[in-house]
Each structure stands twice: as C-alpha cells, then as structure tokens.
Structure 1
Amino acid sequence: MDAQLIAFTGVAAGMVAMPGADFTVVVRNALVSRRAGVACALGVAGGLLLHTTLAVAGVAAVLAAVPALFRTLQLLGGAYVLYLGVRTLDGLRRQRDPEPGRERPVVSGGTLSGEAVAAGPGDGSRPLRQGFVTNALNPKAPITFLSLLPQFVPAGSPAMPRTLVLALIVVAVALVWFPAVALLVDRLGRWLRRPRAARAVEAVTGSALTVLGLVLLLEPLTA
C-alpha cells in the first residue's frame, strides 16, 4: 500500500467514525439485539457503498449542479432522521404514561418490549433498512467523496481504477467500524439494557436524532 492510500485510509477512518446520525442509529438498534445492531451497521455500509459509487460515476456532480434536487434530498434525509428521533421519544413517553387500559411495556431479556425503533428477531430487514436509508439520504456524502477522491489519485494514473480502490477502502472501514460499535454496545448490554439505563440511552439517542433531523431540515431552508 502506497503512502497516499495509507493517508486516505486515515482520512476515511476519521470521516466514518465521526459521530452522527449513522452512529446514533447503530447504537439504537444494537440496544435491541446484536443482530439488529450488526444489520443496521451493514445497512450504513451499504449507504456508503452507494455514495462512493455515485462519486466514482460522477453522478454526484449532478447534485452539485442542480440545487433544487440537492435540497430535496437534504429535506428527505432530515425528515427521516427526525422521524426516527420523534418515534424514539414518543416510545419513552408512552412507556411513562401508558394509555388507560394499556399495560406498561414489560422488560424481556433486559430490553423494553415494543419500544425499539428496530424490529425484533422476526423482522431483521428493518434495522438493515434504517441504516441504509439514514446514510443514503445524506446528499452531502457523494459530493464530499467526489471532491475528496481525486485528491488521492496520482498524476498520470488512470482515474477509474484508483477511485474504485478508494471507494472500497471507505466501505471496508465502515464494515469494520459500525459492526464493532454494535458489538461493543451489545457487549455492554447487560448494563445498558437495565430499565433505567435503557431509558436514559433511549432519551439521549432519541434527542440526538431529533436534533440532527432538525439541523438537516433547517439547513436547506435557511440557505
């Protein structure tokens, strides 16, 4: 591996590990189960694969050239993240103040049943879909990669093979980082899934997703 690839791997690791909606959604799902957390992590990696593919193909240039399309995708992404946050906080509210005649959610295996955004063991596709959609609806990602990848293509080298390698490095880093986060959260699950701790984490992740969603929504509206 040449020096440029080593440098790019470090940059990619920093970008992938930066806390944001992806990180929060993976943690949120990992609190439900290891399977849900890893599935969500794979979904995030799938979203990054889409973005890097778009960057390599040059489609991201279209987003940069058509502001209306870019803003539309920004609004869709912000609305989805906001939806996840509001749904999480609403679950906490219903847990504290159950409707008349409705029992409080029971703790089963350390997890508050019915309160997770992610689905249970019977629907493993929902965490995967959440991870993918959360990442895929971020229109800044392909433009970031479109501007970043050419910086690590040596002068005189064929652009397509090199950018494909760089794109694969990004996806590989994501495939290591996000499942590792999910497994770590699951490892700490005995403590994190205690009712009081689980409610605290739910409140933090729900609030973080809500704030991130609002920021994503307000940014294109105030630009």
Structure 2
Amino acid sequence: MDGELIAFTGVAAGMVAMPGADFAVVVRNALGSRRAGVAAAVGVAGGLLVHTALAVAGLAAVLVAVPALFRAVQVLGGAYLLWLGGRILLPAVRRPLDAAEPEVRGAGGPGKDGAVGGPASGGIGTSLRQGFLTNALNPKAPVLFLSLLPQFVPDGAPALPRTLLLAVVVVAIALVWFPAVALLVDRLGGRLRRPRTARGLELVTGAVLAALGLLLLLEPLTV
C-alpha cells in the first residue's frame, strides 16, 4: 500500500474542503440553480488543474523567482474577488427584506440581471467562468503545490509521473467535493432560497469574497 499517496490524499482533501473563495462561489451559484452550482464547481476544479499543471511543469517556480509577476497575479486575483464580492453584496443590500420572490433565480438578486452568477442571463458559462477565475487567479496556489507535491515523491521514484498522479488526485477530489457542495445547497434550496435566508447568504458570501480580495490587494503593503 502506498502510504505516501494515502497521506497526500488526506492532506489534499483537507486543502480542497477548507472554506474559502472557491466554496463561497460554488454556494452562491448553487443558490441560482443546481446546474449553475455544478458549473462553478467544475470551473474551480479547472483552476486547480491549471495550478497543479504549473507545479508539475515547474512553471510555478517562476512566480517565486519573479516577485513582480507574483504581485501582478496577486493584484489581479484580489481585484477580481473584490469585484465579485461587490456584485453580490450590492443587490443583496438594496433588496428589501420583504421581497415577494420565493426563490433566488439569478445571481444579481431575484428576477434581476443575474450578472454575478446563476442561470438568469449569463448562463452556465458565467458560472463556469466564475469558478475557474476565482481559483486560477489565486497566486498562492501554484506556489503551495510547488512546495507540497515534491514532499510526496518517494526517494528514487521518477518525479514527473508521480507528481502527475498527485495532481490528478487533487483535481479528482475537487471534482467530487465541490459538485457535492452544489448539490447539497440545491437539495436545501427550499430553505436557502427563502428571501431572508437567501439575502443573509448573499451578504455573507459577498463579504467573504470581498474581504479575501481586499486582503490580497493589501498584503504587498504589509510585508
């Protein structure tokens, strides 16, 4: 039995399941519809595929070696999360608590333009793109995988096949976890889409995304 592979699977599962921007985006889209939530989940897994591929190829080392490039990706990612959080927060703040809509159909609020995510106007492609960009624009992920993957390559084992296997494990876990989250949210949709509950979830989700984006933008000023 490959003990190192089992250990890595546990570590990777913990990393993937940890609540953060990816989780928030999947939940937010799943409030729009099951398909939107699953699309966002697949997008997140696609972003992880990019990060693990960069780590396997060694390209993530470039981010470490070129601070300006790392900061540029960090600012881009932070700005995107801040924008996405704002697009969720503003409609939620403006919408009255006694809104008559029983469900949140689009990601800009009930019956609105769905600009943030959800099937109302942007469609599944919008949800897929949001999930992908939220994960892919995280500048710390490729650096994390670059430092993590080699630790689980046994001595004397070929590095490339092994790191490819580890990368597949990460993406496979994401393809199980995030769609499961989306399906659970949809399963609870009757309760979660009640106007007050949906508004509260939107406020929390938007605040989390905006806060994470702001942290990314401000971090270069604190180091």
Q: TM-score range by the shorter chain?
A: over 0.9
Q: Which residue is equivalent to 2:51?
A: 51
Q: Secondary structure at the match of 1:107?
A: coil
The offset of 1:168, in angstroms, is 0.2
The offset of 1:121, in angstroms, is 5.5
Q: Which residue is equivalent to 2:27?
A: 27
The offset of 1:188, in angstroms, is 0.5
Tell me, yes or no, if the aligned pair for 1:51 and 1:142 is still in contact at 8 Å. yes
Q: Give the TM-score, by structure 1 length.
A: 0.92
Tell me, yes or no, if the aligned pair for 1:73 and 1:137 is still in contact at 8 Å. yes
Q: Is the counterpart of residue 196 in structure 1 residue 196 in structure 2? A: yes
Q: Give the TM-score, by structure 2 length.
A: 0.92
Q: Is the counterpart of residue 107 in structure 1 residue 121 in structure 2? A: no
Structure 1, residues 163-220: CA drift from partner, whole Å, max 9, x if none? 0000000000000000000001111100000111111111111111111111111112
Tell me, yes or no, if the aligned pair for 1:36 and 1:119 is still in contact at 8 Å. yes
The offset of 1:115, in angstroms, is 6.6
Distance 1:210 1:154, change over 3 A: same
Matches of 1:83 and 1:199 in 2, distance apart?
Answer: 18
**RMSD of the TM alignment (CA)?**
1.8
Q: Is the counterpart of residue 151 in structure 1 residue 145 in structure 2? A: no
Shift >4 Å, 4+ stretches: none
Q: Secondary structure at the match of 2:73?
A: helix
Q: Which residue is equivalent to 1:120?
A: 119
Percent identical across equivalent pairs? Answer: 68
The unaligned stretches of length 5 or more in structure 2 are none
Matches of 1:115 and 1:66 in 2, distance apart?
Answer: 40
Q: Is the counterpart of residue 139 in structure 1 residue 139 in structure 2? A: yes
Matches of 1:150 and 1:92 in 2, distance apart?
Answer: 44
The unaligned stretches of length 5 or more in structure 1 are 98-103
Structure 1, residues 3-38: CA drift from partner, whole Å, max 9, x if none? 110000000000001111000000000000000000
Distance 1:38 1:167, change over 3 A: same
Residue type of the partner of 1:20? Answer: G
The offset of 1:108, in angstroms, is 6.1
Distance 1:124 1:157, change over 3 A: same
Q: Which residue is equivalent to 1:211?
A: 211
Structure 1, residues 137-176: CA drift from partner, whole Å, max 9, x if none? 0111111001000000011111000000000000000000
